[in-house]
Structure 1
């Protein structure tokens, strides 16, 4: 499987797991707690496969950067988390950083 698709799957699984973490209410609710564990297991398994093909620095930068943006947007939609102007700018800068790293850095393995 394409390592970039696996990385996308790892990011989505991590966002699902993190979103369910709030819903688990401190692991006192069974179904959200199971979703947390499955989400993180899938995420880290996919990351382990990605690391066979993409350097760890690039992998982690993309995974954590896009994960931050996606979980913030998910919290905005699902939990009504407010995002101020600085938050929107910060997320834009995170996305810009991931793009610069992947499009212009020699560290990226394309």
Structure 2
């Protein structure tokens, strides 16, 4: 059984789930920083909630987005988002190296997305679950 045929999620909706996941990851990281090592309860709870919702939305995104592309893009966008949050909200210093690093990360993301193999509508490379049990009954 193929995962995406069972769920029937369109590719465009998977990318929406994907972007929501990136935003939730950035929000979770921001809450974690604001919690001051989990000393402040509300931001700590926000981090917990955001990270769990982040994982949940990625589950739906991965039904149609290849993991090799999705995870790399997710990490790159998360790095850029959290760097910008750190600079604008936590007043972290913006250095030349940070700017170059974010630009290189963004270029890498664009290369991955623009030059990926065309994703088939049914995504033949989707994970398939075996109908056979992992442990045979005696």
TM-score by length of 1: 0.94
State the shift of 1:28 in Å. Answer: 1.4
Distance 1:13 1:44 in 2: 9
1:51 corresponds to: 62
- 77, 80, 92: which one aligns with 2:103: 92
Number of residue pairs matched by the alignment: 109
Question: Corresponding residue for 1:19?
Answer: 30
**1:68 Cα deviation after fit:** 0.1
Aligned position for 1:83: 94
**What displacement does 1:26 show?**
1.2
Give the drift of 1:38: 0.7
4+ residue runs over 2 A deviation: none
Deviations 1:71-95 (A, max 9, x none): 0000101100112111101100101
Report the Cα distance in structure 1 between the residues aligned to 2:114 and 2:74, rounded to whole angstroms: 16
With a CA cutoff of 8 Å and minimum separation of 6, indicate the structure with the bigger relative contact order: 2
Structure showing greater Rg? 2
Gapped regions of structure 2 (runs ≥ 5): 1-8, 121-138
Q: Aligned-pair RMSD on alpha carbons?
A: 1.3
- Please identify which structure carries the higher helix content: 1
Is 1:60 matched with 2:71?
A: yes
Partner of 1:28: 39
